[in-house]
């Protein structure tokens, strides 16, 4: 059977906004990419005061490395336009928009760096020749891409941001597909390690990293490579999940600073709680605005039985497994107690009640200080000096030498959280694929229809509420020991450092509701960006509000979309594509092999 591919006969309206011959346009892309790569080996400024020390010839550093990577990727896509053997697989459809978006990754990072040098150091005089070469060279691929045939005639510039149709992917042997998954996982580990390793006070480099990552990823999505990789991972789900876990285990060995391992621990805690919320919001469709309270219940329960001298029960010291069960049980009980009288409500009414529960929890633990109420939580002082965990004789608070690598305290807790996250992912996937999981999805889609089909809506929703609460309690158990203390401050709807209810909900929506990897990615982004961009900490709610508005406008199903919701949000109503279509300007689109 022949493969379905698009053959487009250009008409007048198919041409890009820049009038250049097609051969010249295709030539501009690799020429500009080579110039961008060369500029990375030149000096961009005369003073080392700019972050990254961009003053050395022949040795890229900081933002120059990012420009080098973006330029190399642009070169590959530029050569793919010439159908160079092997490179044409980077852009199977031969589309224009992937080339344009990848070119933007180099353009934005080079121009951002030039502008940042001028602003930070006080004028354009601080730019060395390398910066001027980078800015000029990186503009050439963008010009060339805009001179190529228009990807979606009649749509203007918007067409360059519209994902083109892709030819049907062929099948490879299982060994080759597993090798592709391995390479993709390794690249993801390298990208994450580089991003998390950027110094917290080097916001310019992290912004450049985000620019390259966003536009390059956007280009790969338009080229169809991300969809093909997702299909491979779906076919080899167990292998892909194992590789992801192995990559996470390798991560602490790549870090010389335990602070980065601390960021990793907090991301995993945040992500694990977001996965629990995903059961309630993503699978069942219940808007819970006080979910962070269940995290607090688990953390306080674990702190009370931790053996801390500031605990109300200081003589009680449970081992970790017993403390984890205690935290889960306490959160489960609260989930049932709160859910039983409230889950008969729907929509905004349920959201208001759960928001009230979150505030009641915070106020209650703040008042259980011996003055306003019983002395249980020590009020705003919290329970401090929670001892480190010791599991099977392995003390997580000590440094350990493994294969010549020194692993600090946070690296130890990172390994523990990896196990906890793996358990939560297993519970989520098994529950979602079970009979009860299908009932949750039915309730989410149409509770009235689901009830008419015999599903006990109240019981199903209560199970989801209780299971999500218990998973949050498990993460709270570890968080109490990682932070050495618990206090009421973090357990707010918004305003405090994550995790709080607003950020947890944003992680689920941003990453993709109803998926496993979506909340993990959403939590990583929402935690890492404020951590690296310190100047955003006072405006992070504004920044994330703008980000969510843009996301709802351009990708309402989230970064990693659930297939069912993706079809709902992008319903076209056209299942059959004609073999040949004639456009209004006379151009024809032919389906080869139809």
| Co-location of 297 and 214 in the same domain | no
| Co-location of 217 and 315 in the same domain | no
Sheet with 588-592: strands ordered across? 5-9, 588-592, 580-582
Does residue 34 contact residue 75 with C-beta atoms inside 8 Å? yes
pLDDT top residue among 392 and 415:
415
> pLDDT tens digits, residue range 62-111?
899 999 999 999 999 988 888 777 787 888 877 888 999 999 999 999 99
Q: Does any domain span residue 382?
A: yes
CA 464, CA 394: separation in Å to the nearest integer? 35
Q: Does any domain span residue 313?
A: yes
| Co-location of 25 and 90 in the same domain | yes
pTM over cut 0.85: no
The CB density around residue 22, as the number of other CB atoms within 10 Å, is 15
* The total number of structural domains that make up the chain: 2
Q: Does any domain span residue 559?
A: no
pLDDT of residue 592: 41
| Co-location of 174 and 277 in the same domain | no
| Co-location of 225 and 272 in the same domain | no
> pLDDT tens digits, residue range 178-201?
999 999 999 999 999 998 888 877
Q: Does any domain span residue 226?
A: yes
> pLDDT tens digits, residue range 129-181?
999 999 999 999 999 998 888 777 767 777 778 777 777 776 778 788 899 99
Q: Which domain holds residue 82?
A: 5-182+198-231
> pLDDT tens digits, residue range 214-226?
999 999 988 888 8
Does residue 326 contact residue 301 with C-beta atoms inside 8 Å? yes
| Co-location of 47 and 104 in the same domain | yes
pLDDT of residue 14: 62
Query: In sequence order, what DSSP letters do the residues of 442-458 get, joined into one string?
Result: HHHH-HHHHHHTT--HH
Q: What is the mean pLDDT of the chain?
A: 83
| Co-location of 353 and 276 in the same domain | yes
Structural domain ending residue among the three candidates 494, 516, 532: 494
Q: Does any domain span residue 249?
A: no
| Co-location of 348 and 485 in the same domain | yes
Q: Does any domain span residue 551?
A: no
Does residue 62 contact residue 48 with C-beta atoms inside 8 Å? no
| Co-location of 364 and 482 in the same domain | yes
Q: Does any domain span residue 499?
A: no
CA 121, CA 447: separation in Å to the nearest integer? 60
550-559 CB burial, b ≥16 within 10 A, e <16: ebeeebebbb
| Co-location of 30 and 110 in the same domain | yes
| Co-location of 110 and 38 in the same domain | yes
| Co-location of 488 and 378 in the same domain | yes
CA 320, CA 306: separation in Å to the nearest integer? 9
Angle CA 516–519–491, to nearest 5: 135
Task: Average the pLDDT over each of 114-118, 294-298, 576-580 and give the range with the smallest value.
Answer: 576-580
Q: Does any domain span residue 484?
A: yes
Structural domain ending residue among the three candidates 494, 517, 533: 494
């Amino acid at each position: 059977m022949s493969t379905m591919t698009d053959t487009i006969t250009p008409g007048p309206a198919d041409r890009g906004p820049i009038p250049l011959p097609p051969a010249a346009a295709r030539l501009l892309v690799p020429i500009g990419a080579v110039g961008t790569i060369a500029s990375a080996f030149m000096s961009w400024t005369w003073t080392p005061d700019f972050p990254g020390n961009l003053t050395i010839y022949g040795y890229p550093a900081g933002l120059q490395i990012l420009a080098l990577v973006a330029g190399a990727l642009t070169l590959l896509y530029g050569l793919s336009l010439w159908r160079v053997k092997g490179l044409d697989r980077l852009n199977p459809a031969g589309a224009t928009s992937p080339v344009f978006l990848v070119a933007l990754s180099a353009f934005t990072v080079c121009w951002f760096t030039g502008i940042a040098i001028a602003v930070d150091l006080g004028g354009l005089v601080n730019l060395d020749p390398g910066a001027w070469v980078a800015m000029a060279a990186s503009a050439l691929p963008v010009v060339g891409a805009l001179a190529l045939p228009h990807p979606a005639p009649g749509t203007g510039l918007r067409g360059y941001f519209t994902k083109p149709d892709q030819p049907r992917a062929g099948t490879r042997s299982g060994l080759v597909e597993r090798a592709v998954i391995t390479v993709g996982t390794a690249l993801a580990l390298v990208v994450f390690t580089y991003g998390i390793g950027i110094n917290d006070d080097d916001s310019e480099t992290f912004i450049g990293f985000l620019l390259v990552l966003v536009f390059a990823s956007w280009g790969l999505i338009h080229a169809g490579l991300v969809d093909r990789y997702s299909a491979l991972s779906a076919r080899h789900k167990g292998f892909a999940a194992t590789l992801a876990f192995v990559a996470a285990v390798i991560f602490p060995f790549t870090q010389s600073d335990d602070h980065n391992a601390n960021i990793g621990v907090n991301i995993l805690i945040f992500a694990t709680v977001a996965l629990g919320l995903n059961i309630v919001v993503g699978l069942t469709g219940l808007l819970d605005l006080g979910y962070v309270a269940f995290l607090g219940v688990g953390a306080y329960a674990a702190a009370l039985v931790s053996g801390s001298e500031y605990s109300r029960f200081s003589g009680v010291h449970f081992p970790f497994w017993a403390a984890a069960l205690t935290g889960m049980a306490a959160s489960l009980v609260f989930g049932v107690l709160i859910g039983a009288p409230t889950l008969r409500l729907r929509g905004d009414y349920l959201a208001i009640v759960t928001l009230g529960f979150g505030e009641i929890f915070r106020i209650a633990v703040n008042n259980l200080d011996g003055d306003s109420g019983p002395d249980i939580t020590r009020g705003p002082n919290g329970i401090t000096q929670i001892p480190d965990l010791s599991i099977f004789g392995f003390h997580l608070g000590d440094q350990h030498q493994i294969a010549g690598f020194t692993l600090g305290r946070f690296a130890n807790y990172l390994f523990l959280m990896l196990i906890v996250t793996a358990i939560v992912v297993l519970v989520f996937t098994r529950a979602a694929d079970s009979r009860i999981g299908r009932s949750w999805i039915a309730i989410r889609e149409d509770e009235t229809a689901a009830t008419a089909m015999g599903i006990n809506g109240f019981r199903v929703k209560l199970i989801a509420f209780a299971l999500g609460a218990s998973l949050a309690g498990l993460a709270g158990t570890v968080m109490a020991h990682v932070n050495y203390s618990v206090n009421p401050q973090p357990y707010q709807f918004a305003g405090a450092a994550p995790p709080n209810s607003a950020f947890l909900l944003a992680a689920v929506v941003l990453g993709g509701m109803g998926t496993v990897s979506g909340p993990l990615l959403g939590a990583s982004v929402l935690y890492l960006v404020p951590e690296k961009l310190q100047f955003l900490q006072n405006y992070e709610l504004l920044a994330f509000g703008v980000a969510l508005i843009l996301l709802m406008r351009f990708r309402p199903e989230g970064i990693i979309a659930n297939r069912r919701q993706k079809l709902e949000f992008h319903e076209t109503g056209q299942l059959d594509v004609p073999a040949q279509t004639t456009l209004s300007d006379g151009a024809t689109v032919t389906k080869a092999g139809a």
